Amino acid sequence: MVLQGYPDPGEGLRLHLNENTGGCSPQVLEAIRGVRPTDVSTYPQYREAVHATARHFGVDPDWVLLTNGLDEGILMAAIGHIAKPRIHDAETIIPLPAFDPYPNSTAAVGATAVRVPPDRNYAFPTQAVIDAITPRTRMIFLNTPNNPTGQLIPIPDLIRISEAAPAAVVLIDEAYIEFGGTTFLPQLPRFPNVLVGRTFSKAYGLAGMRVGVVIGQPQALDPVRSVTLPFNINGVALAAMHAALQDTDFLPRYAAQVRESRERLYAAFDRLGYEYWPSAANYVMVRVGETAPIIEALAAKKIHVRDRSKDPTTPGCIRMTAGMVEHTVAAIEALEDVTRLRRFAASARPGSGQAR
């Protein structure tokens, strides 16, 4: 059967999609239970949700477009700025490693992706991105913290790139910014060519509801709005989002769990001698070498992590979600078991010089 979405890893601890491992706020579930029959039988109204979101982010409501997950916002940005105006020979700039929807949306609108490799240790290649800007550049996808490395792009670098590309749209994807780093939003009034992408999927635990936000001045946002379908987010998701915004204790509590989980993962990787990259997000990328046997052995213990080894910029790497501490503890225990067993088997293999 042809699959829709990502393959389902089955039962167990999902640490492969950077989801909130603790689930959403109980207040969100209460709001969903409170949905009335007419909320379902009528088309959704967005005004209140847009205003609440604008207040939350401290921006003008006209600068806010709610999308069906930030995924939709990324595709609509490409359609609004490249496909609809029928720009031929358009290029997008995509620093690597990159979230798949950037190249996919680029291809969907018939543009060419100009990929920029990372600097050493995944430092952000700011000058190389600026050097890649041409008169054909229509969009630049910047992701901070980066998925999968967790590295931040410093605000001065975001500013330099945005200033260097006044004729292009710079989409700053801040899907994980609640877990570390500084948002670009206070800079936005100076940059009519910048869009900031946010999501309720990660920090607020609403991935199943599909609510994202694209924020920008009308020059950058209106073309995106003009191609977005009028009822793109369902009414239940709106109710969930409202409740998530109202539970102001939820995010700091979860962010503290994520911080502690990251520290525990670093300590475990140090013990195991794995190279890793300290992350500002709710996941950590770690180099384990040959990934498949480790991923399979973890899956057998019902721990699901993400294989990053097929991307040439992240060879030998897996990405693990850092969520609730109890989940991280279980994942670390499994990884330690799996690693020890593999190392023991390797050392016992004839010819290893250590077999007795």
The CB-nearest residue to ligand PLP is 69
CA distances from 150 to 70, 107, 210, 322, 332 (A): 18, 25, 22, 11, 19
- The string of DSSP codes covering 292-313 is HHHHHHHHHTTEEEEE-TTSTT
Provide, rounded to whole angstroms, the least separation between the CB of residue 104 and ligand PLP.
Answer: 12
Tally of CB atoms within 10 A around 292: 9
Residue ranges that bind ligand PLP, judged by CB under 6 A: 18, 69-71, 99, 143, 147, 173, 175, 199, 201, 207, 212
Closest CA to 212 of 226, 204, 201: 201
Provide, rounded to whole angstroms, the least separation between the CB of residue 170 and ligand PLP.
Answer: 15
Q: Helix (H, G, I), strand (E, B), or coil: what is residue 318?
A: strand
Q: Helix (H, G, I), strand (E, B), or coil: what is residue 199?
A: strand
- Cβ-based nearer residue to ligand PLP, 69 or 118: 69
Provide, rounded to whole angstroms, the least separation between the CB of residue 271 and ligand PLP.
Answer: 28
- Cβ-based nearer residue to ligand PLP, 244 or 268: 244
- Cβ-based nearer residue to ligand PLP, 104 or 127: 104
Provide, rounded to whole angstroms, the least separation between the CB of residue 345 and ligand PLP.
Answer: 34
- Cβ-based nearer residue to ligand PLP, 175 or 238: 175
Provide, rounded to whole angstroms, the least separation between the CB of residue 207 and ligand PLP.
Answer: 5
Provide, rounded to whole angstroms, the least separation between the CB of residue 165 and ligand PLP.
Answer: 20
- Cβ-based nearer residue to ligand PLP, 99 or 179: 99
Find all residues with CB under 8 Å of 106, minimum gap 6, and list them.
Answer: 78, 92, 94, 112, 113, 139
In whole angstroms, give the CA distance from residue 311 to residue 287. 13
* β-strand pairing of 194-199 with 64-67: unpaired
- Cβ-based nearer residue to ligand PLP, 72 or 268: 72
